[in-house]
Amino acid sequence: MDIDILLALQEFRNGAGSFLTGFFSKMTFLGEINTAIVIMAILYWSVSKELGSYLLMGWSGNRLANGVMKVTACTYRPWIRDARVLPYGNSINTATGYSFPSGHIMNASTVFGGIAVRKDYPRALRVVLGLVMVFVAFSRVYLGVHTPQDVLVGAAIGTLVMWLTLRLMRWVEAHPGKDWLVVCAGVGLSAAVALYAALKPYPADYDAEGKLIVDGAKMANDTFKGVGYSVAFLTGWILERRFVNFTTEVSVQRKLMRAVIGLLGYYAVSLILTPLLKTWGPGPAGTFISCFIQMFYIAFLFPLCAKRMERSSDR
């Protein structure tokens, strides 16, 4: 039935629905990893450290949950399951790893759903963000890269993780000296996820020519990305709390400077440094290290540099 829905939407998209493809292509962009990271980084550095920490913590949990579920279910992408499914344009390029559940919607569940579940924000804002999340979810089905099951389960799990993260962060606020327990539990869980993804068997199906249809080891790459991001955030988070303790209660000028300089540094790390690291250390180790460095820069290195630069400027 899920493939039938994709085929029906594909027929509509190729006919009268072609005018919607531009809109849903933009909506699916809001669920990409890099988009989520940039939004959360700006919030963390320049808008609200508390909100940014909460979103980054929840996103770490969602990346682990998504990684575990993908390598457990090992669900092939729709166009592999049925050759009649033809994803729109280059949307197939961002569809990495196994299909179930959708990583895009779990990213959107973090950034948009994570704020929507908080009652301390205006109701109108929460409704708008909830609608954005719905549009991102539908865009993945409309463009033909996910089934309804992929996005519905992803949205449910992603929102649940953010609801649990909200309670975890409030517990940390009430018990600040026990934040190390969160870090130890998170790093231990990340290590368990990495071992599970590395050691479990993957399905090996072959086409009529005897070629492997899907390489499970490559599909697990998304899981190792999640482990790298999660360990980096947890490490950077507790180091920042212990040794930096920066604040977002600064002038608008400084907020803007942090956002601009911080993003320039992030893109230098992600576009120059991490590709070099991947060439030196290919495979899961290279993926882990490159993702670790990106997130460690966001969580600890840039806040440290920003606070020192601002302190020097004050002097």
Q: Is residue 172 part of a domain?
A: yes
The total number of residues shown for the chain amounts to: 315
pLDDT digits (tens, 9 = 90+) for 213-228: 788 778 888 899 999 9
CA distances from residue 159 to 62, 129, 140, 177 in whole angstroms, order as listed: 9, 12, 17, 27
| Count: domains in the chain | 1
pLDDT the model gives residue 81:
86
Q: Is residue 60 part of a domain?
A: yes
Average pLDDT over residues 267-292: 81
Q: Which domain holds residue 159?
A: 2-306
pLDDT the model gives residue 301:
96
CA distances from residue 213 to 72, 76, 98, 102, 206 in whole angstroms, order as listed: 18, 10, 12, 20, 5
Q: Is residue 315 part of a domain?
A: no
- What is the pTM (predicted TM-score) of this model? 0.92
For 171, the token pair is: 């517990």
Q: Is residue 16 part of a domain?
A: yes
Q: Is residue 311 part of a domain?
A: no
**CA–CA separation, 107 and 174 (whole Å):** 27
Residue 175 a catalytic site member: no
CA distances from residue 64 to 105, 130, 312, 315 in whole angstroms, order as listed: 14, 23, 39, 43
pLDDT digits (tens, 9 = 90+) for 177-215: 999 999 999 999 999 999 999 999 988 888 777 788 788
Q: What does the CA dihedral 140, 142, 145, 150 come to, rounded to 10 degrees?
A: 60
Q: Is residue 110 part of a domain?
A: yes
Residue 87 pLDDT level (bands cut at 50, 70, 90): confident
Residue of 104, 140, 225, 258 marked active site: 104
**CA–CA separation, 96 and 91 (whole Å):** 10
HSE at residue 1, side-chain half, CA atoms within 13 A, is: 3
Between 140-149, 187-196, 235-244, 295-304, the lowest mean confidence (pLDDT) is in: 140-149
Q: Is the pLDDT reported for residue 312 higher than 80? A: no
Residue of 63, 146, 225, 258 marked active site: 146
**CA–CA separation, 38 and 36 (whole Å):** 6
pLDDT the model gives residue 2:
82
pLDDT digits (tens, 9 = 90+) for 15-65: 877 778 888 888 999 999 999 999 999 999 999 999 999 999 999 999 999
